[in-house]
Amino acid sequence: MSEAVKFKREGVSAGVPDLCIPKAKKPYHGLYIELKRTSKARVSKSQKEWIDYLNLEGYKAVVCYGFDETVEVIEKYLKGEDF
49 located within any domain: yes
CATH number at residue 39: 3.40.1350.10
Total domains, the chain: 1
Q: Read off φ and ψ for residue 57, nearest 5 degrees.
A: -85, 5
39 located within any domain: yes
Q: What is the pLDDT of residues 27-70, one digit of tens each?
A: 999 999 999 998 789 999 999 999 999 999 999 999 999 999 99
66 located within any domain: yes
Residue 64: give the domain boundaries.
13-79
- Enter the pTM of the model: 0.85
2 located within any domain: no
1 located within any domain: no
7 located within any domain: no
3 located within any domain: no
The pLDDT value recorded for residue 75 is 98
